[in-house]
Chain A
Amino acid sequence: MAGLRALVPRREFQVAAAVAITLAAMFLVPALFTGFWVARFSQTAIFTILASSVGLLYGRVGLVSLGQVAPYGIGAWVTLRLAFATSLPFPILLIVAGLVAAAIGVMIGLPALRVSGLYLALVTLMLAASVEIILSQIKFPNGGGGFSGVVTQLSDIAPMRRPGFASSDVAYYRFIVVAAFIIMMAVAFVLTRKPGRAWASIRQSEVSALAAGIDVTRYKLYAFAIAAFMAGVAGGLFAGTIPKGLSLDPFTRQAAIFLIAAAVMGGIRSLWGGLAAGILATLFLAFLTQNVWGHQLWTDFSLSLFGFGLLMNLVQNTKADEKKGIAS
């Protein structure tokens, strides 16, 4: 038994590993790879935050949300709009985007208080779809005036401004990596505190959590707020990587399903799983499409594998949910 425990790396070791990976990502990657790959690594860092937000809800609290693309898209929208309309510093924009996304995340979380498992997955998928429809109607801001900030003249579309200290592609990539590091560390910290323990109780059994005096409703909404904040910041970071105008593709229902599939395949029980999901969903797929003969086949095959993994996981968990409950 003691041996099993010794195998789990100590907390200090994990922090050291995270610092080392962050430094390697910041300095080795731009030195060793071309601009194309640095852009892929940027997406990896962003996807790591996003997948970890899914992992926080599903792996730590037991809430299957397919709606995380909604706060992701909203975070991108708010960051874009404010970047064109105000001169606020970029990090402030990200925080505002995160807070707006958190408010929306709590709204997405409200149905979670009534349903769970596959049913929650369906409800949140529909909410993501409704946000997708709204975004497709009002479009992403690209420098125009008014609430939606859209100009129709294509030649007028300007790229979103980046932080003054990180305007080049490589510098902005480093900015994303640092932001991802800060967010992951903050989440790791929260997980070791009172909310982390309350979430662990809720995941195991809501009834026993209530019997321990845990306000299950509040802690579930708290988890949705934090996860949506993470996704909102990821959306803001993503907006800065796009040279000319955002498309809706990363925020659709398909993207929602791809996101949870990648998060599950990467691993939802540990924050390292978020990083694994980020690598799978960006670098791995890019590698297949760039370097492997018959790449379309391989890409389709790995996407099918993601879907299969997700389905097995959901079915298993729903069964386990049904077995749980109060012993009578």
Chain B
Amino acid sequence: MIDVDGLTVRFGGVVSLSDVSVTFPSGICGLIGPNGAGKTTFFNVLSGFVTPASGMIKADGVDLLTLPDFKRARWGVRRTFQTEQAIEGLSVFDNVATVYEHTAKGGGGAARKAAVDEALEFVGLVEVANDLVRTLPAKERRFIEMARAVVGEPRLVLLDEPGAGLPDEETAQLSAIIRGIPERTGATVILVDHDMELVQACCEWSAVLDFGRLLAWGPTAEVLADEKVLAAYLGGDEALEETHS
């Protein structure tokens, strides 16, 4: 469970997130909104790359904001990026092992091999485990990131547009992987994506951000049918006025 309270982020005079309060239950939650709504900024706050002006984030009772960025990763915050970041110069196995060996449990040897093999099996990359990443196509690289996100014992998995650029068939595979994460790891997953089918298929609950404000929160189907949300996606002015009043 991730408890966010009164989160505000400013870059100079620009308010990227304004007094956002929301509680993500365990399982998979969606985080949607038009471009520039503050979704990635929200992830950057959770990962520790952006320091908020005010607010509080409690994850499983731990005050996340007190931990520096790399220690949050060790505690169990995992992150994928809009542009995939699989490490080109390493093999698929080493990509996943690198994340594992810096976790709290860490270590090498048989435990590491077992954990990495399990993660590769989960995303279906066992056959290419020893291939160099730079020789692999886009789908495999995306799935390496998923394996990096689930290896070991993640507690909070942040997926930033994992389906961007994937054709439908591969998005279906991705969807199955995402839906398997909570059961496999017990982690809370927050999914940012513009593909509403993917969000609907994976997320029981969803939050909607618009201009840095929390526009809506609730069961995904209801949220997506909300007039305010539809207006925000169409760029309607009425939605703005309503949320500001």
Contacts and interface: CB of A to CB of B under 8 A. Distances in A.
Interface of A: 1, 4-5, 8, 194, 197-198, 200-201, 203-205, 207-208, 210-216, 326-328
A216 B70 CA distance: 8
B87 A213 contact: no
A197 B94 contact: yes
Contacts, number: 81
Contact of B49 (A1, A4, A5, A207): A207
A203 B89 CA distance: 10
Interface string B36-48: 0000110010011
A212 B99 contact: yes
Contacts of B73: 210-214
A interface: dominant SS: helix
Given A204-B85, A213-B103, 15 more contacts: A1-B136, A5-B131, A5-B132, A8-B132, A194-B108, A197-B101, A200-B87, A210-B48, A210-B73, A212-B73, A212-B98, A213-B70, A213-B99, A215-B70, A328-B41
B81 interface: yes
Interface hub of A194, A204, A210 (most chain B Cβ within 10 A): A210
Contacts of A207: 49, 81, 85
Interface in B132-163: 132, 135-136, 148, 160
Nearest to B75: A213
- Place the interface of chain B in its size category: 35 or more
A4 B137 CA distance: 14
Contacts of B78: 211
B90 interface: yes
A59 to B, nearest CB: 10
A197 B132 CA distance: 13
B213 interface: no
A326 B132 contact: no
B101 A194 contact: yes
Contacts of A1: 131, 135-136
B69 interface: yes
Given A5-B135, A210-B73, A213-B70, A204 B102 contact: no
